[in-house]
Amino acid sequence: MSADLALVNANVHTMNPDQPTAQAVAITKNKIVKVGTNKQIKQLISKNTKVISLDGKTVLPGLIDTHIHVADFGRCLLWLDLTTAESMSDLQSILKEKARQTPIDKWIIGRGWNQNRFKENRMPTTSDLDSAAKDNPVIIYHESAMICSVNTKALQLAGVTKQTSVPKGGSIDKNPKTGEPTGILRDSATNIIWQAVPEPTINELFEATSLACKKITEAGLTSVHWLVLSEIELPIIQKLNAQKRLPFRVNVVVPQKLMGKMANFDTSDALLRFGGVAINVDGYLDSKEAALLEPYSDEPNNSGKLLCTEEGLAASFKQVLAAGVQPIILAMGDKAIDTTLNVIEQTPSQARFRIEQAAVLNKNLVKRLKKQNVVVSVQPKVISTEFTVWSAIKRLGKERARWLHPLKTLIDEGVKVAGGSDCPMEPLSPLLGMQEVVLRAEFPEQRLSVEEALHLYTLDAAYASGEENVKGSIEEGKLADLIILSSDPNAVVPEKIKNISVEMVLVNGRLIIF
Ligand SMILES: [Zn+2]
């Protein structure tokens, strides 16, 4: 037998406990056919084999992101990048240039400014933005995405005046003398403007999503769990695949309201799979909508709220399981997780349940997660945002915050933990995600080893969707999904894991070299 592709002289980190390292890998069609020494692989090399000598470079299983919004990531790529602005005039010249290239009246959307980087140390207001771009409505988000600045035209189109009532959980900054809005809106108030921004055309969204796919591959991801937010994304996924512009495997995850649409979704291609249905049990911690067993420490009358009853959740599980797919439960607060477990404990099923985030836990909930074999899918960059952007310790109190994403405790108890990005809310990079869990700043007792961090994005991510027998490690018979890195994450200082470059990606046996 001769292989199609042989990777030799490599540092192969297989994630297979029976054979943790190897020198070489042989691939035929879309499968790994041999993992071993250079000498063993040589026996499979013929004149038809493409041989790549890797000079000691690291080969890992292809990385898997279990929580990403690909089309939204595409949308954000259409936006102006303001992360480089170091002053108000920097920001204004970026805006001015964009306005020059943009037809009058078309919205300009940007993201990434931070007044702490500006020498003026203040947030941009309408007059700052008007002087750079007055003929286009402008909305630019702070890097936290929780604050936006807008110009006069945007305020007018959104109908925001000094009389506009402020929505719950938000604020509109006003000039103390005139009472007029300054153009700075916070938290839920940012939605008032966002609602006035028109959707991109389907063509714009298609091209942007295709660009997002390219960036996802460059980050070393060979599989994603694509959390669909709107119906328009389904034909986009099919068209990308038909045009061979989908360079990775996709587990399509839809909200319950779109479940019916999946009847017409073609999953005959090897790269596409109907991965599951997302079910929301509560809201987010940052807006205090996560359901807690005890009130928020900084708001004694508020414990958040459940979005469904136990009966409702049981009915949802039944419907999703009957369709033969995985229930993917979004539960943040301890009360939401408790409710979810109550229902799982009463559901007769061999299905592999999975909870996204499962943010606020306690000892008992961890034990119950283990007992029910529930997978916890986390987004490591979200964890650091929770502690730094809004103070989780203030919101939950120190004792409860200790149980906010206790990843090490979960893994030590035997709960499978999978990693994702929640891109575009947080950066895409899985290597950055690994670095975050290895270097976690708050409650460092919950830090993971590099090896555990690798599990999050490989074998345990494959386990999260019940695919651990076909991917997630470099083993004979598994799918030929792997990546080649400039350095070994185990061999660099943890602060530099995010800087490792992805040099090649192999998806379903197809090689992409950067
Ligand atoms: Zn998300």
pLDDT band at residue 421, thresholds of 50, 70 and 90?
very high
Average pLDDT over the chain reads: 96
pLDDT band at residue 293, thresholds of 50, 70 and 90?
very high
Residue 390 pLDDT greater than 80, yes or no:
no
Residue 472 lies in a domain: yes
pLDDT band at residue 145, thresholds of 50, 70 and 90?
confident
State the Rg of the chain over Cα: 24
Question: What is the separation, in whole angstroms, between the first and last Cα of the chain?
Answer: 30
| Per-residue model confidence as pLDDT tens digits over 450-497 | 999 999 999 999 999 999 999 999 999 999 999 999 999 999 999 999
Peptide bond preceding 424 in cis form (omega within 30 of 0)? yes
DSSP type of residue 486: S
Give the model's pLDDT for residue 287: 83
| Per-residue model confidence as pLDDT tens digits over 66-115 | 999 999 999 999 899 999 999 999 999 999 999 999 999 999 999 999 99
Give the model's pLDDT for residue 282: 97
Residue 389 pLDDT greater than 80, yes or no:
no
Give the model's pLDDT for residue 386: 87
Tell me, yes or no, whether 87 and 220 share the same domain: no
For residue 176, give every residue at least 6 positions away whose Cβ sits within 8 Å of its Cβ, in sequence order, or none: none
Tell me, yes or no, whether 239 and 336 share the same domain: yes
Number of domains making up the chain: 3
Tell me, yes or no, whether 492 and 387 share the same domain: yes
CA distance 192 to 160: 8
334 vs 287: which has the higher pLDDT: 334
- Domain containing residue 31: CATH number: 2.30.40.10
Ligand 1 centroid to residue 226 C-alpha, Å: 9
Q: Which two structure tokens, joined as six digits, stand for 508?
A: 């379903």
Tell me, yes or no, whether 174 and 243 share the same domain: no
Tell me, yes or no, whether 253 and 325 share the same domain: yes
What does the pLDDT average to over 215-222?
98
Residue (of 324, 323, 336, 322) closest to 369 by Cα position: 336
Residue 65 lies in a domain: no
Residue 291 lies in a domain: yes
Tell me, yes or no, whether 319 and 460 share the same domain: yes
Give the model's pLDDT for residue 440: 95
Residue 68 lies in a domain: no
Cα distances (Å, whole numbers) of residue 332 to 102, 329, 337, 390, 433 = 41, 10, 7, 15, 19
3-state secondary structure of 5: strand
3-state secondary structure of 387: helix
Residue 286 pLDDT greater than 90, yes or no:
no
Ligand 1 centroid to residue 484 C-alpha, Å: 28
Ligand 1 centroid to residue 424 C-alpha, Å: 8
Tell me, yes or no, whether 232 and 165 share the same domain: no
Q: Which two structure tokens, joined as six digits, stand for 116?
A: 């702490």
Q: For the chain, what percent of residues have pLDDT higher than 70?
A: 100
- Please return the burial class of 412, using the count of CB atoms within 10 Å of its CB with bins 0-12, 13-18 and 19+: exposed
Tell me, yes or no, whether 211 and 189 share the same domain: no
Number of C-beta neighbours around residue 173 at 10 A: 16
Cα of 97 vs its chain's centroid, Å = 31
Tell me, yes or no, whether 39 and 94 share the same domain: no
Residue 32 lies in a domain: yes
Ligand 1 centroid to residue 423 C-alpha, Å: 7
- Domain containing residue 443: CATH number: 3.20.20.140
CA distance 290 to 303: 8
| Sequence letter at residue 166 | V
Ligand 1 centroid to residue 496 C-alpha, Å: 26
Ligand 1 centroid to residue 40 C-alpha, Å: 44
CA distance 259 to 277: 7
Tell me, yes or no, whether 104 and 237 share the same domain: no
The sign of the torsion formed by the CA atoms of 126, 204, 260, 463 equals negative
Ligand 1 centroid to residue 305 C-alpha, Å: 19
Ligand 1 centroid to residue 355 C-alpha, Å: 12
For residue 345, give every residue at least 6 positions away whose Cβ sits within 8 Å of its Cβ, in sequence order, or none: 368, 372
Residue 62 lies in a domain: no
pTM exceeding 0.85: yes
The domain of 150 spans 79-194
CA distance 209 to 232: 12
248, 224 in Cβ contact below 8 A?
Answer: yes
Ligand 1 centroid to residue 379 C-alpha, Å: 9
441, 391 in Cβ contact below 8 A?
Answer: no
What does the pLDDT average to over 178-188?
95
- Domain containing residue 129: CATH number: 3.10.310.70
Last residue of a domain, one of 146, 165, 194: 194
Tell me, yes or no, whether 288 and 436 share the same domain: yes
Tell me, yes or no, whether 37 and 119 share the same domain: no
Ligand 1 centroid to residue 427 C-alpha, Å: 12
Residue 336 lies in a domain: yes
| Sequence letter at residue 511 | L
Ligand 1 centroid to residue 422 C-alpha, Å: 5
| 59 φ/ψ angles, rounded to the nearest 5 degrees | -110, 130
Ligand 1 centroid to residue 357 C-alpha, Å: 9
Q: Which residues surround ligand 1, an ion (CB under 5 A)?
A: 422
Ligand 1 centroid to residue 68 C-alpha, Å: 6
Residue 513 lies in a domain: no
Ligand 1 centroid to residue 210 C-alpha, Å: 19
| Per-residue model confidence as pLDDT tens digits over 20-60 | 999 999 999 999 999 999 999 999 999 999 999 999 999 99
